[in-house]
Structure formats: structure tokens, C-alpha cells
Structure 1
């Protein structure tokens, strides 16, 4: 009998570890050791009560070698970025709103709360609107990311603002981060992955 948790895979069945091949098991174990504890600490759900992965992580099991490489990019971005945590969450939530990726918005509203954003700011970002309470860096990050993911072009004035605010490395870091979450949002939307119901 199917449970509500079975529906958390969207168009994909949730995979149990005992049904995985050896490469999938290695990725599964990596995700259970890194992403699941981070999700719990951040206040969102990344697996089911019986340890099946949800969100983008279930889809990632279908292509373990490339997904493992993507996780390497995720780890490098977290360690080497020049962006503040609040700027990172503005970028991520702006991408999620443009893509209307339900699980991504659910997860990063929780992460955004941990980063120190209030509810009104988070709800504006989720709605695809520029919040009024952002500082200068966060405003530029929102404008840059919103243009990048909606028009795919950065006009000269905004480019100059981004360079002055973040430097060349920071601009590249923003583009990498936005691209990473466009990939995540693409996985979530293609496989119609929902956010878990409120508990």
C-alpha cells in the first residue's frame, strides 16, 4: 500500500538503498552522510522515515557518476565562495522563484531563516519579488540573479554594480551558484518533485 511519502518522489519512485547498484550506493551513502544531516540542521526534510532520499537527491541517484561530480561542485562552492550566506540564499531563492521549484523553495526558506532573514523577506523572495529590507549586497545579488534567470542578459549598469559590489570573483561565484540551483530546479520540475506537507 502506497503512503503519502511514496508521492514525495513526484514522477520517480523513491529508491531504497537495498535496491541500488554499487555506484548508486556510494552516492546514497555520501548524501546520507552530508546532505541529510545538513537538511535536518537547517530545518527541512531530505529523506523519509525509512531513509529513502527525497528532493533532488532521489533523482540524482539515477546518474551517480555525474551527480557525484555535481556534489563536488556543491562542496567547493560552499567552501570557496566569496559570497555571504545571506547573499547566497538571495541567489538561491531568486532562482527557485523564477523556476517555481516547490521543494527548492521549501528547503531554502528554512535555510534562509537560519541565515537570519525574516518571514516577510523570505515570502517576497518566494513570490519572485524584491524584498524591501535587503542590504546593498543583497539588493545587487537579487537584481543580478533575477535578470540572469529571467532575461538571461546583464546590462552594463547592473554589471558595473555587481563588479563594484562583489568583484570579478564574486560575480563568477554568483553565476556558478545560480547555475547550480538552475540544475537542481530542473531536476525538481522535470520530475514534479513536491515539497513535503507541513508537519
Structure 2
């Protein structure tokens, strides 16, 4: 028994070492030569659309972030990728409100890659470093009130309440709908739901940060 346990520990240590050295995720990187037709279609779409905002591929050509997971199961992943594209580009929400929702989800999941990517996009959308820091720390909402405009604050309160309680109170719902309408409230839920799925993928498959990047959240 001791021998078997020792062997298992050595194998696990070896896996951790290889993963650390390669800065890879648990999934096999789908480089272009590994891709079938469905995977290639998703790959080309991501590189064309998302590559305008962020770095979409690793030096070996494989997709970064959640997109490699989507390409691994390209039929479902393709639908999910299109949902994400719609949430970003066809939403009624302004970029700053979108990023508040995304950061709230990322902070809830303590998702390293998600926060690393969207902190920069949030700054570009006009959020202050102070507001971003409070969202990251999941500070009391009263501490964020003066750092966000009313719509962004309402979206943050709504998203956080939904994440923490799996429900939204009438007061929180009404505060958001008064500012963004019913369509806007639905778009907040769509955005939170999509990025919730993204954070689950990033965490489950241990998608690594770019080499040299500091983890936004302390590793346990």
C-alpha cells in the first residue's frame, strides 16, 4: 500500500511539474494541425473576431483561454462561442456595465485568467482602478457606490446578489430595470450566465496565465 501511494504521489508531482513548465491547461492544446473541420471553423471565427481585442492564440497556434475548451467540443463549444460574441457585440449594455458584470462573476469564481483579461478591458471601458479593486475584493456595496455610475452600480448589485443567493430581490430587480429596462436586465443575466460558464471552464481545466503574469488572486 505504501509503495502504491508513493508511486501515485510521484505521478501527481510529475503531472504538476509538466503543467508548470509548459504553462498549459489540463486539455490538449489544439494546434491547427490537430484540428478537424468543425474545430477549424470555430478556430477561424475566434481568431478573426476576438483577436481584435485580445491575443487569441499561443505561439504554437492553439487558442488561449476558454476557446481551446470550446474547440475540444466544437459543436456545443461553437454555440457557446457565438453566445459570447453576441453578449459582447450585440448587447444593449454599455461596455462599462458589461465589464462590471464580468468582473463580478470573475471575482465570485476567483478565476485567474478571466480577471487577468477583463481587468484591462474594464480599464479601457472607463472603470477606475479603485472600483475594480473593490469589485475584486468583493467589498461591501456601500464602498463601491461612489465609484460607479448608477447603472453600473445597479448591474453590480444585481449580479452579485444573483451569484451569492441564486435569487434577486424585488428591490434589486426594480433598481436595475428602472435604468436599463427589461431587455437590459435580460442582457445582464445572459452576460453573467455566459461568463459563469467561462469561469467554470477556466477553473476546471486550470487554464494558465501567460508566462510571467502574476496571478490576480492568491493561490490556495
Q: What TM-score results when the alignment is normalised by the length of structure 2?
A: 0.80
Match of 1:12 among 27, 35, 40: 27
3-state SS in 1 of match to 2:167 = coil
Distance across 2 between alignment mates of 1:76 and 1:13: 27
1:118 maps onto 2:118 in alignment? no
- Cα gap change, 1:102 to 1:185, in 2 (>3 Å): same
Q: CA RMSD for the aligned pairs?
A: 1.9
Kindly tell me the number of residue pairs found equivalent between the two proteins.
192
1:106-151 C-alpha deviation (Å, 9 max, x unpaired): 1100111111122222222222234341111111111000011111
Q: Which residue of 2 aligns with 1:178?
A: 192
Q: What TM-score results when the alignment is normalised by the length of structure 1?
A: 0.88
Distance across 1 between alignment mates of 2:114 and 2:135: 12
Distance across 2 between alignment mates of 1:122 and 1:195: 19
Q: Which residue of 2 aligns with 1:54?
A: 64
- Cα gap change, 1:60 to 1:6, in 2 (>3 Å): farther
What is the Cα deviation at residue 183 of structure 1?
A: 0.7
Q: Which residue of 2 aligns with 1:67?
A: 77
What is the Cα deviation at residue 10 of structure 1?
A: 2.0
What is the Cα deviation at residue 74 of structure 1?
A: 2.2
1:133 maps onto 2:143 in alignment? no
Contact conserved, 2:71 with 2:78, CA < 8 A, in 1? no
- Cα gap change, 1:16 to 1:79, in 2 (>3 Å): closer
What is the Cα deviation at residue 46 of structure 1?
A: 3.3
1:41-89 C-alpha deviation (Å, 9 max, x unpaired): xxxx432223221210111111111121122222322333111110100
Unaligned runs of 5+ in 1: 40-44
Match of 2:46 among 31, 46, 70: 31
Contact conserved, 1:6 with 1:13, CA < 8 A, in 2? no
- Cα gap change, 1:36 to 1:29, in 2 (>3 Å): same
After the TM superposition, which of the residue ranges 59-68 and 139-148 deviates more from structure 2? Answer: 59-68
The structure with more radius of gyration? 2
Unaligned runs of 5+ in 2: 1-17, 215-220
Contact conserved, 2:119 with 2:132, CA < 8 A, in 1? yes
- Cα gap change, 1:12 to 1:33, in 2 (>3 Å): same
Contact conserved, 1:5 with 1:48, CA < 8 A, in 2? no
1:142 maps onto 2:142 in alignment? no
- Cα gap change, 1:123 to 1:195, in 2 (>3 Å): farther
